[in-house]
Amino acid sequence: MEQNREKLLEIHKLRKYFPVKTGFMKKGYVQAVQDVSLHIFKGETLGIVGESGCGKTTLGRTILRLYEPTSGRIVYNGETIFDSEKKIAEKMLPYCRKIQLIFQDPSASLDPRMTVGEIVGEALDIHKLYSSKADRCSRIAKLLEDVGLNSEHSNRFPHEFSGGQQQRIGIARALAVEPEFIICDEPISALDVSIQSQVINMLEDLQKERGLTYLFIAHDLSVVRHISDRIGVMYLGCLVELAESYELCNAPIHPYTQTLLSAVPLPDPEKNKKRKRILLEGDIPSPLNPPSGCRFHTRCPYAMPICSEKEPEFKEYSPGHFAACHKLDLE
């Protein structure tokens, strides 16, 4: 089935390291993203989950090259836009029309000195997507209407809106250039629970109407499970499991994914009481000095000697189900 689907984005062995000072005249690197490889099909939603600080946001911004990759390869719609080995680093402006980003904190991502009309219309100005001032105004009004706002809101400033409305403005700004691919960087984590479902439903409706492809980054597995076709799980900069949403949530094979799912409450109180939760011991290691071998071995209940010696290969264990775990090779 996957062989017949067209890939929109492919990343291979993508790395992002941030240089930091570790002492007097000493320099180290925060290994935020480490050898991540995945692909996204046209029209699908790929969810990325993991603990805070695992590299989810950095991955999204590195794909868009807001952070320049340290190494690896990024292919968008068959065109290589970055390749560290071949020294390819294409200018991103032509791709900014095709790839957009919805930020986590709407209040911080909107310029308080600009009106809503100016914020949404800025992208139209940069890419020259209107024929006249009247066309520009009608486009802005239509975009605001598409996200559940009124055209009258275009003359108001961001601080006059609630958090949910501000995020809708951010979504309208992302839609202004008619993109194909949107990276949603925890778009609902800063919103009230009552508003979260409205934004999720709106994103799903927009995807159907416009044929959009999403990379949906979040830490809430229940939300990601609802909106995603496939889910990838990250731990300390590495992708440890990737599978269809239903399969990953019902038959996880990596110990870390099993731990995450055991913490998601079930709607049935009786089943919730009977279910055994998996508790991890120890703290998350620092990405400045990650453990050798498998990065999860310091907290894994199934750790073996090989786990600290050799990094597990991220490979396919069943059709469409990938994981990186030495324990799986022995089963």
Separation between Cα atoms, residue 262 and residue 16, nearest integer Å: 30
For residue 2, what pLDDT band results from cuts at 50, 70 and 90? low
Could you report the per-residue pLDDT of 28-63, keeping only the tens digit for each? 899 999 999 999 999 999 999 998 889 999 999 999
Q: Closest Cα partner for 310 from 324, 299, 322? A: 324
| Average pLDDT of the segment spanning 2-13 | 86
pLDDT at 14 over 80: yes
Separation between Cα atoms, residue 59 and residue 240, nearest integer Å: 14
Where does the chain have alpha helices with state H? 56-63, 93-96, 106-109, 116-127, 133-146, 163-175, 193-210, 221-227, 245-250, 255-262, 269-274, 305-309, 326-330
Separation between Cα atoms, residue 271 and residue 288, nearest integer Å: 40
| Average pLDDT of the segment spanning 15-21 | 92
For residue 106, what pLDDT band results from cuts at 50, 70 and 90? confident
Max intra-chain CA distance, the chain: 68
pLDDT at 71 over 90: yes
Q: For residue 329, what are the CA distances in angstroms to 225, 310, 325?
A: 27, 13, 7
Strand, coil or helix: what is 58?
Answer: helix
pLDDT attached to residue 321: 95
Strand 88-89 to strand 79-83: parallel, antiparallel, or no bridges (unpaired)?
A: antiparallel
Q: Is 235 exposed, middle or buried (0-12, 13-18, 19+ CB in 10 A)?
A: buried
Domains for the chain: give ranges and CATH numbers: 2-98+179-330 (3.40.50.300)
Could you report the per-residue pLDDT of 289-325, keeping only the tens digit for each? 899 999 999 999 888 999 999 999 999 999 999 999 9
Residue 277 is given by DSSP the state: P
For residue 276, what pLDDT band results from cuts at 50, 70 and 90? confident
Separation between Cα atoms, residue 147 and residue 223, nearest integer Å: 20
Chain centroid, CA 175 distance in Å: 17
For residue 86, what pLDDT band results from cuts at 50, 70 and 90? very high
pLDDT attached to residue 82: 95
Strand, coil or helix: what is 11?
Answer: strand
Q: Closest Cα partner for 106 from 163, 157, 175, 64? A: 163
Of 158-172, 256-270, 314-328, the range with the lowest mean pLDDT is 256-270
Across the chain, mean pLDDT equals 90
| Average pLDDT of the segment spanning 221-243 | 94
| Average pLDDT of the segment spanning 236-244 | 95
pLDDT attached to residue 176: 94
Q: What is the CA radius of gyration of the chain?
A: 21
Strand, coil or helix: what is 45?
Answer: strand
* Comparison of pLDDT for 4 and 167, the residue scoring more: 167
